[in-house]
Structure 1
Amino acid sequence: MLSSMLCFPFELAKSLQEGGSGIIPTDPYKCLRILDVESILISLFPLVAVQLVNLRYLAFQAHDASPHASISNLGNLQMLIISSRKNVVVPKTIWNMVSLRHLYIKTGENLIELPSFLQVTGNDDCSCPSVLASLQTLSQVSPQSCYNIFSRTPNLRKLGFCGPLITSLGDLEFPSLCSLKHLHKLKLLNTLPYPEATRSCNPVMFPENLKKLTLSNTGMDWEEMWSFSLLPNLEILKLKFQACIGEKWEAGDAEFRRLKVLKLHDLDMKQWVCSRDNFPRLQRLVVQRCLKLDSLPTSLGKIYTLEVIEVNGCSLSAYKSAAEIQKEQESEGNYFLKLHGKQNS
């Protein structure tokens, strides 16, 4: 029996392109587990997919990709990938999909409707709220729709917020993550810029087990970076477009004790001052499109765990400083440090 396909039979392709609301003969596809139609731009959520009740994996692209409430018919679905030209509204019926492991929305500032309550009869005949115990990934969701849901996603491992993350007073703010004991990857994409440099939140707002953190457009003062050094298990830190603003990042006494990967993308800093004590276990440094950065700190040459430096789209002097760091380590017998990228012409 057919369990996956790399091309689409005529009746299925036609139904998708016409809006996906027609009836297809289900017998040939009743064992279908994987349906990836991201290569076909359709207008709306493909209703035809909800007839394929054995699907484990569904990926699609639509102009308006908000799932229909009937998506809960896919009781075996584990992976849902959505590409949309508009912001997506995920219906409350999603909370009935107890097998769902990954809800990955690729773009936009998307909403999740508050869960309804299911009548679950146990030994005590009580009513229990919807819980997605299997859900591990939730991406590109508006923080405004997440204040009351995390108690129902206890095993979430990867989370991405996209929406307003800065208060009227200029502080970073997002829904409490205290209940997410297993969360190890967090992305914060702010969509409402603040006119001045912003402040970080209290480090206790982050789960203790957090290993990967990405900040984008948060507009924080560089002096606020010390707060992230207090995250005890942080291994990967990515600072993207306007994550921090200002001409100088002076790391001071901050010690990122377990940080292995540091990525700096599209930042406007001119000067970076740090010592090897700030990043004692750094293995990989990526600097991309930091056009104003004059040079990399020479102290990076004293970090003997450093294996790779990538410099792309930066000034000629920044690239040359990376080459000097590589030469310094080679002079001390470390030939393992690799330099990737190219200098701007």
Structure 2
Amino acid sequence: MPNQRRLSIHSDLSREFEEKHLDIVIKTSLSGATRRRSKISRFLDAISGFAVKDASASTIHSTSTIRSLLLFVRYSMSLSFILGYRLLRVLDFSEAILDFIPRELTLLLHLRFLAFTYWDSEQKLMLPPSISKLQNLQTLIIRLYASEALVLPFQMWKLPQLRHLVFSKRTILSVPLAVRTVLENLQTLCGVKNFRFTSKAIEMIPNLKKLKVSYVGLSRENWQEYCLQNLIRLHQLETLNFTFEPISWCWQDTFPVIFDLPPNLKKLTLSGCNIPWQHVVIIGVLPNLEVLKLRNSAFIGREWECTEGEFPRLKYLLMEGLNLERWLVENSHFPCLVRLIIKACWKLEEIPCEIGDIPTLQLIEVGPGSKSAADSVVLIHDEQRSLGNDLLHVRIHS
């Protein structure tokens, strides 16, 4: 199994649950056992490899009151033993390898936090409809090492306590016509594929704060079905990651629809959208935007001419894999910019010298790409040093 880094949100959410619900952490392995106490209540028994293999019925009975369980194992295993832990609230076995999704999970009616990893198999990957029995579930995290997309049942919408849905790969989540539940607590929805933002869908996720969505293998003709114009109705949305991968790639094929974004956005990532630069105003007018990442032809065209008054609070700007040639900027633009990162912009002629005059700017980082752009960064740095500006740093990676 490849040694891949966990999703950062997985670590953050796991840590949050540990701090709130756990008292003792025990790791059992060949090297022995270690314990540590945290500040607040509850009990965690983190069992790895041999401890799980050797667990007897008496052991399970003696630990049946455990509320939280973490499994650190690196092999395929059966999870039938978890039936002895009916009071579990936190179950994290994302380090284990599952060839199928065990139905035993849906019998843990007290679960609030569930994380697991699914490995590719010949079976169709689909959560069982009985997932709706987990009425206390707040966080569901699934890592996928599978070629097929994960399909979520309509019953997912019947989990009223859900706060975080996180998937490492594209997952299909459809909005049913019959279900009337409103997921008022849902704050995070990451890793969904070809999601339709119908009026009904918007009504069911009114308090969403973080969204990561991709659109893959679609033709231009049916784009209206995905109702992206409704994104502006997600009034609580603060973080949006949007990826577009058309069915047949063409650098000249522009994004089929232009849509407005919710004004509360603070972090925005766009990838593969092929939006002409003249429409950059749709994000430039966002009053609270602080982080902007433009990747893989998010915008296309030879020239980006910035406009006065746009990006009033932007602190972090990443441009990666753009075909931009000329970037026209004044020192009054980007008044709050702190970090500028440019990678793989092979056609960019230079980084404007006016960038160096932005008083808040602390770092310009240039990755592999245009040599002339990298050279211009050196000139900017030298000029600022001559003016007594020691706060600006540059990094150039060849």
Q: Calculate the TM-score normalised by the size of structure 1.
A: 0.83
Where does 1:1-345 land on structure 2 (aligned, <5 Å)?
2-7=43-48, 9-10=52-53, 17=76, 23-24=80-81, 26-27=83-84, 29-62=85-118, 63=120, 65-84=125-144, 85=146, 86-108=148-170, 110-114=172-176, 116-117=178-179, 129-147=180-198, 148-163=200-215, 167-168=220-221, 174=228, 176-192=230-246, 193=249, 196-198=252-254, 205-253=260-308, 255-340=310-395, 342-344=396-398
Distance 1:89 1:201, change over 3 A: same
Tell me how far 1:202 sits from its aligned partner: 5.6
Per-residue deviation, residues 130-159 of structure 1 (Å, max 9, x unmatched)? 011110011232344432312011110011
Q: Equivalents in 2 of 1:262, 1:17: separation in Å?
A: 42
Cα deviation for residue 230 of structure 1 reads 1.7
Q: 2: distance between equivalents of 1:132 and 1:218?
A: 29
Name the CA distance, whole Å, in 1 between partners of 2:177 and 2:221.
Answer: 29
Q: Is the 8 A contact 1:197 1:220 kept in 2?
A: no
Contact 2:77/2:97 (8 A) holds in 1: no
Question: Counterpart in 1 of 2:59?
Answer: none
SS in 1 for 2:334: coil
Shift of 1:216: 0.7
Which SS does the other structure have where 2:48 is aligned? Answer: coil
Give the aligned length.
327
Distance change in 2, residues 1:289/1:65 (3 Å)? farther
Structure with more contact order per residue of length (Cα contacts < 8 Å, sep ≥ 6): 1
Residue pair 2:72, 2:93 contacting (<8 A) in 1 also: no
Identify if the C-alpha distance between structure 1 residues 65 and 101 changes in structure 2 by more than 3 Å, giving closer, same or farther: farther
Q: Partner letter of residue 141 of structure 1?
A: V
Does the 8 A contact of 1:143 with 1:174 survive in 2?
A: no
Cα distance in 2 between the residues matched to 1:111 and 1:322: 45
CA–CA distance in 2 between the matches of 1:19 and 1:6?
Answer: 14
Percent sequence identity is 33
Of residues 328-337 and 292-301 in structure 1, the stretch that sits farther from structure 2 once superposed is 328-337
Q: Alpha-carbon deviation of 1:60? A: 1.9
Q: 1:337 to 1:160 in 2, by over 3 A?
A: same
**Change beyond 3 A, Cα 1:327–1:299:** same
- Where is the helix percentage greater, Structure 1 or Structure 2? 2
Matched AA of 1:66:
M
Report the secondary structure of 1:95's partner residue: helix
